[in-house]
Amino acid sequence: MGKLVGMASDLLQPRDGTPPLLTTPAQFEAAADVLAGGSGPFAIDTERASGFRYDDRAFLIQIRRRGAGTLLFDPESHRPELSRSLGPVLNGQEWIIHAAATDLPSLAWLDLHPGTLFDTELAGRLAGFELVNLAAMVEQIFDLHLLKGHGAEDWSKRPLPEEWLNYAALDVEMLLELADVMAEILDNQGKLDWAEQEFEHIRTQFADVTEAPTLSWTDMKGVGTLKRPEQLVVAREMWMARDSIAAARDLAAGKVLSNKVIVETARTLPRTFGDLARVKGFPGRNTGTVKRWMRVINRALASPRHTWPRPQPRPDGVPDRRYWSSFHPEEYEILQGIRADIDDLGAELNIPGENILQPAALRAVVWMSTNTGEVHDQDSLMGALRDYGVRPWQVEQVSPILINALLRGDRRG
C-alpha cells in the first residue's frame, strides 16, 4: 500500500504523559477498577526478557482503554495477585494486540485470555502493507513517528528507566485507533471476514494455555540434522545439562550454551579438551567450562547404548523441508509449481503467499497426495487441510490450485 499521508511528526511521549509503573497488589486492584470504568476493547502489549531470562514470561504489561488511559503493570513479584485483579476485567473481552502470537503466551500463563482478538500486525499483512511493524503502520496511517529503540532491552531489569516506560506506553498509545482504521481498510477490501478467521485461529491456539510449555531436547533447532545415536545422546545430555543450569540461574539457555554449539559439538564428537575448545562458538578460553562440558560428553558416551536415542521421523511423516530438493525431487517440483501458483494468487489478492496457505500445510498435502496416497480426492484433500488448521477462507482460495495440481494430473514443475 502507498503512504496515506504526508511528512510524519514525532510522537515522543503519550498524550497523558508516561504513566507510573504499578507494582503492588493494591495498585493492581485500583487499576483494574479504572480499566473496568472504561469502554470498548483493550489495547495490550507485553515486554519480555527471553534473551536474558529462562522463559518468555512478561516483565511489563501495558494496557490502554478508552476512558481509562494507559496503565503499566509490573507482574514479577505478585503474579497471582495480578491475575486475580485483571482476570475479571480482561477475560472474555475484545483485545487488540500487535503480533498477538508473541504476547498471548505470556498473558495466558497469567490466566489472562481474550474473548475476541484483533491483531493489527496480521491485519497489515492481509491488507497488503509492505511494512507491518507497529512504528511503520502508525507512521503510514497517522503521519506519526513513534519513538522506538528499547524493544530488545532486558525488561527484567529493575528499576526500569523512565525512557523505557515511555517507550512501552507508546506501544499501546495508537493501537485502538490503528485497529479501527485497519478494520475499515479490510472491510473495504472485502477481507474483514478473512481477518476475523485468522484472529480467531490465533486466539484458540492459546485458549487452553495456563503455563509455560515443557520443552524437550528434540525441540532444539538443528537437532534433526544429527543422525547417529552417539551424536543424539551427546546432544540430549548437553541440552539437559544446559537446561538445568539455565533454570537454576533463571538465565536464557542460549547464554549458557547456544543450540548451534550443542549441535556442532554433538556432530563432531570431540574426545579431548582441545577438540572441544576448537568447536566453533564454544567458549574454549575458559578451562573450567571446557572441563565441565567434557564431563557431560563423556558421561553421555559412557551411558548404556540401549538408552541412546535413535533418529525419529516427523510425527506426520512429512520430510523436513531441507531435504525435498535433494531426496524427493519429483515431489519438490510439484511443490514448487503449486507455490508459484499461490504466489501469483497472493499478488492478485495483495497478500503474502504464506498467509494464504502456510508452507507446512502445503508440504503436507503435497506429500500426502504424491507419496502416501492419503489425499486422493476432494474430500480427502479438504479433510487434510482442515487437519492442518487451514482456515475456510484459505481453503476457498487455494482449493482450485490444489485440485488442479494434485487431483487432475497437472503435476508440473
pLDDT digits (tens, 9 = 90+) for 242-262: 999 999 999 999 999 999 999
At 363, which amino acid appears?
R
Mean pLDDT of 285-304: 95
CA angle centred on 11, ends 134 and 73, rounded to 5°: 65
**Cα(31)–Cα(72) distance, rounded to whole angstroms?**
9
Alpha helix ranges (H) inside 316-377: 324-327, 329-349, 353-356, 359-367
Q: Which residue has the cell 504526508?
A: 6
Measured over the CA atoms of residue 96, residue 99, residue 100 and residue 102, the dihedral's sign is negative
Average pLDDT over every residue of 30-48: 98
Which pLDDT does position 7 carry in this prediction? 65
Give the mean pLDDT of 309-329. Answer: 85
Q: Using CA atoms in the order 351, 355, 359, 363, what is the torsion angle rounded to 10 degrees?
A: -90
Q: For the whole model, what pTM was predicted?
A: 0.92
Q: Cβ atoms within 10 A of the Cβ of 285, count?
A: 8
Cis peptide before 229 (omega within 30 of 0): no
Integer Cα distance of 237 and 254 in angstroms: 16
Please give the CATH architecture assigned to the domain spanning 9-205: 2-Layer Sandwich (3.30)
Class level of CATH domain 321-407:
mainly alpha
User: Mean pLDDT across the stretch 198-214?
Assistant: 95
Q: 341-381, pLDDT tens digit by residue?
A: 999 999 999 999 999 999 999 999 999 999 999 999 999 99
Please name the residues in contact with 163: beta carbons below 8 A apart, sequence gap of 6 or more. 150
Report the 3 state secondary structure along 43-54.
EEEEEECCCCCC
pLDDT given for residue 76 in this prediction: 96
Q: What is the pLDDT of residue 6?
A: 53
* pLDDT, the chain, mean: 94
- The continuous run of DSSP H or E covering 21 comes out as strand 21-22
* CATH classification for the domain delimited by 217-307, as one of 2.30.42.10, 3.30.360.10, 1.20.1580.10, 1.10.150.80: 1.10.150.80
Q: Where in the chain is the domain with CATH 1.10.150.80?
A: 217-307, 321-407
CATH 3.30.420.10 intervals, the chain: 9-205
Lowest mean pLDDT among 81-85, 153-157, 227-231, 313-317: 313-317
For a pLDDT cut of 90, what percent of the chain falls above it? 88
